[in-house]
């Protein structure tokens, strides 16, 4: 067993060392599901389950009320924001958006900030909105909070086969996510109206017609990937059922294996909001197994110290979701790279006739599509020490959580048609469409994304190969938790009762996972 523990700890450190990249420009994050929490599940409950109960039915039930809150830091802010260079005008969590500052500002290799004109177009020659030079700072302070109650049931099946057991877990969870968007003036030259327009753009309430834009293009409101207040969801965060066998049953050491499934019962992603609330794992069926090893290192049946290793592995299968894809370039410095906040930049219908008025559309309205998502492997591993004296039980341990990088693939019936839209050039408006009509995809040299500083009236055509599924993928996640719990089991009662309190703190190895703390209280009964 000592060799096994060393191997698992080495694997944990290896996985952690690989998770050092800071991710940016993302449109989706799948946090650790609330129901995947071995410390909360097993603390104190193991003392109830492992009691001597030869003359009983062999059933054990616990109910655990819990709250998990994310820590306040800038890691998740960077995850949803675009990349920033050290020499840009931005500081800390801020990103600078300046209208008319840099025609290439969508490219972090050139600037690191973003031209506000890609989000709010204006015909500045005729007094359109916003005025030239208006600049704002944008920042976020994301939060992820969960509260609920989970029910765990363990049933011994010795009457069928000595050592056989069945278990089931059902968590009922309320999830609330907040991005806490902040938009402030970069300098005193910026008007309050510009700040309001930017806030309303992300809320999905900003739109303008031709008259409001000084005779330029109309602009549609954002309908997907909004940043507006909080997003919440309540439901059953997946049901887990396992059938196991205790292959070792000695006084001083024991071991068991189980085959288990995860039945999805939560909501699927719809990408209406950035950092949307997901209950469960996003609607994916899981199949895997459990391993439990334990040993009594000191003492007798009533007063002892035990060590326990518990591991749950699940493979989460492919399922359909709706996510917002990013936009990448095919030429020049942007070749193969994501445009900064390309999912928010305005698009124009391709092939618009000369001098025709048109409505510009935020990209997320178009690139929120049907995709196939495969989460892959998920691992929850606990190594703990238990101190038991009479009915008291004290648990102290370490928890490793790992989830593989998601695979996101655009479905054939995604709803996207090549060449239907183009990224609107900064200078485009109704007045100059007739000067240089927007090209169709068949025009040589314009069937991919080109420099945003191209001649007035030209744009970059979007095809499927310009859409980035990586922006919508949750990267691999590794977290490390320390936890402790104190409980008491009334073992002498005809129907033994259990009471317990516990808590943990979870550290993330990269900004693709949520750092959080959690507390819980539980009550259980054996019969």
Asked whether residue 444 carries a pLDDT value surpassing 60, the answer given is no
Q: What is the pLDDT of residues 268-325, one digit of tens each?
A: 999 999 999 999 999 999 999 999 999 999 999 889 999 999 999 999 999 999 999 9
Segment (H or E) for 305: strand 303-316
Structure-derived torsion over alpha carbons of residues 435, 441, 443, 448, reported in degrees to the nearest 10: 100
Give φ, ψ of 484 to 5 degrees.
-150, 150
Q: Which one, of 279, 242, 290, 286, lies nearest residue 263 by Cα? A: 286
First to last CA, the chain: 32
Find the length of the chain.
527
- HSE-CB for 257 with a 13 A CA cutoff: 2
SS3 59: strand
Alpha-helical (H) ranges within 153-214 are 192-203
Residue 478 has a pLDDT of 97
Residue 96 has a pLDDT of 85
Give mean pLDDT, residues 7-20.
48
Q: How confident is the model at residue 113 (pLDDT cuts 50, 70, 90)?
A: confident
Beta-strand ranges (E) seen in 368-496 are 368-374, 376-389, 392-403, 407-410, 421-423, 460-461, 467-468, 477-490
Q: What is the pLDDT of residues 473-521, one digit of tens each?
A: 999 999 999 999 999 999 889 899 999 999 999 999 899 999 999 999 9
β-strand pairing of 359-362 with 346-349 = antiparallel
Q: How confident is the model at residue 443 (pLDDT cuts 50, 70, 90)?
A: very low
Q: How far apart are CA 454 and CA 459, in angstroms?
A: 7
Q: In this prediction, what percent of the chain has a pLDDT beyond 90?
A: 60
SS3 194: helix
- Determine which of 30-39, 119-128, 261-270, 379-388 has the lowest per-residue pLDDT on average: 119-128
Radius of gyration of the chain (CA): 27
CB atoms within 10 A of CB 58: 18
Tell me the domain boundaries of the chain: 2-81+140-180+229-526
Asked whether residue 367 carries a pLDDT value surpassing 70, the answer given is yes
- Residues 111 and 105: beta-carbon distance below 8 Å: yes
Q: How far apart are CA 167 and CA 315, in angstroms?
A: 19
- Residues 148 and 174: beta-carbon distance below 8 Å: yes
Higher pLDDT, 424 or 18: 424
Q: What is the pLDDT of residues 70-80, one digit of tens each?
A: 986 678 999 99
Residue 499 has a pLDDT of 98
CB atoms within 10 A of CB 494: 8
Q: What is the pLDDT of residues 338-363, one digit of tens each?
A: 888 999 998 888 765 434 467 889 99
- Residues 363 and 347: beta-carbon distance below 8 Å: yes
Q: How far apart are CA 12 and CA 6, in angstroms?
A: 10
Give φ, ψ of 78 to 5 degrees.
-60, -35
Q: How far apart are CA 291 and CA 6, in angstroms?
A: 16
Asked whether residue 42 carries a pLDDT value surpassing 80, the answer given is yes
CATH topology assigned to domain 2-81+140-180+229-526: Lipocalin (2.40.128)
Q: Which residue has the tokens 């479905």?
A: 411
Q: Which residue has the tokens 């085959």?
A: 259
- Determine which of 41-55, 222-236, 505-519 has the lowest per-residue pLDDT on average: 41-55
Asked whether residue 216 carries a pLDDT value surpassing 90, the answer given is no
Residue 420 has a pLDDT of 83
CB atoms within 10 A of CB 28: 25
């Amino acid at each position: 067993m000592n060799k096994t523990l060393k191997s698992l700890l080495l694997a944990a450190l290896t996985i952690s060392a690989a998770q050092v990249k800071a991710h940016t420009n993302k449109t989706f994050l799948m946090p650790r599901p609330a129901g995947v929490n071995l410390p909360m599940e097993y603390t104190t409950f193991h003392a109830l389950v492992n009691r001597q109960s030869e003359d009983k039915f062999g059933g054990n039930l616990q109910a655990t009320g819990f709250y998990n809150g994310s820590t306040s830091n800038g890691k998740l802010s960077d995850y949803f924001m675009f990349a920033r260079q050290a020499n840009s005008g931005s500081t800390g969590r801020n990103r600078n958006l300046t209208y008319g500052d840099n025609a290439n500002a969508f490219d972090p290799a050139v600037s690191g900030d973003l031209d506000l004109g890609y989000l709010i177009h204006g015909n500045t020659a005729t007094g359109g909105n916003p005025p030239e030079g208006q600049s704002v700072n944008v920042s976020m302070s994301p939060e992820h909070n969960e509260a609920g109650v989970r029910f765990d049931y363990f049933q011994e099946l010795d009457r069928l086969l000595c050592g056989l057991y069945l278990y089931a877990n059902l968590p009922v969870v309320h999830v609330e996510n907040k991005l806490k968007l902040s938009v402030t003036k970069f300098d005193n030259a910026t008007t309050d109206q510009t700040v309001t327009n930017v806030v309303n753009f992300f809320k999905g309430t900003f739109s303008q017609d031709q008259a409001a834009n000084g005779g330029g293009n109309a602009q549609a409101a954002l309908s997907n990937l909004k940043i507006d207040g909080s997003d919440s969801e309540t439901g059953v965060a997946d049901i887990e059922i396992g059938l196991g066998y205790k292959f070792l049953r000695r006084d001083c050491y024991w071991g068991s294996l189980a085959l288990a499934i995860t039945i999805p019962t939560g909501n699927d992603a719809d990408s209406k909001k950035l950092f949307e609330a997901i209950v469960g794992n996003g609607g994916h069926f899981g199949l895997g197994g459990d391993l439990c090893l334990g040993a009594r290192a000191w003492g007798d049946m009533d007063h002892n110290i035990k060590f326990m290793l518990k591991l749950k592995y699940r493979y989460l299968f492919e399922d359909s979701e709706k996510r917002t894809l990013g936009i990448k370039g095919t030429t020049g410095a942007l070749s193969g790279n994501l445009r900064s906040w390309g999912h928010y930049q305005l698009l124009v219908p391709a092939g618009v006739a000369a001098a025709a008025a048109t409505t510009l559309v935020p990209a997320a309205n178009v690139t929120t599509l049907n995709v196939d998502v495969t989460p892959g492997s998920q691992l929850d591993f606990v190594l703990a020490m238990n101190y038991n004296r009479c009915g008291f039980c004290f648990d102290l341990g370490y928890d490793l959580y790992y989830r593989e990088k998601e695979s996101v693939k655009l479905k054939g019936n995604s709803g996207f048609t090549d060449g239907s839209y183009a990224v609107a050039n900064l200078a485009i408006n109704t007045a100059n469409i007739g000067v240089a009509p927007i090209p169709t995809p068949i025009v040589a040299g314009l069937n991919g994304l080109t420099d945003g500083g191209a001649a007035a009236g030209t744009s970059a055509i979007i095809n499927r190969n310009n859409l980035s599924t990586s922006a919508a993928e949750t990267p691999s996640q590794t977290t490390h938790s320390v936890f402790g719990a104190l409980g008491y089991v009334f073992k002498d009662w005809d129907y033994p009762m259990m009471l317990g309190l516990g808590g943990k703190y979870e550290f993330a190895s990269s900004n693709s996972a949520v750092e959080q703390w959690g507390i819980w209280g539980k009550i259980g009964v054996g019969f």
